[in-house]
Amino acid sequence: MRRVRLGRTNLQVSAIAFGTWAFGGDWGSADFQDSKDAIHHALELGINFFDTAQGYGFGVAE
């Protein structure tokens, strides 16, 4: 997995972020084991950038 610098920091994160909002169940039912398996698979692929924001809007990133 290609890494990129995160903003102005020295942190190196995967070029692809993994969104996890749906795991919280806000968009319907969520299966804990399926969510856990998906995160482990993303890690195996080299993803280390996880977006947990519920949403973005109104000019503010939560």
Q: What angle do CA 42, 38, 28 make, to 5 degrees?
A: 135
Question: Of these residues, 56, 58, 60, 62, which one is catalytic?
Answer: 56
50: annotated active-site residue: no
Q: Active-site positions? A: 56
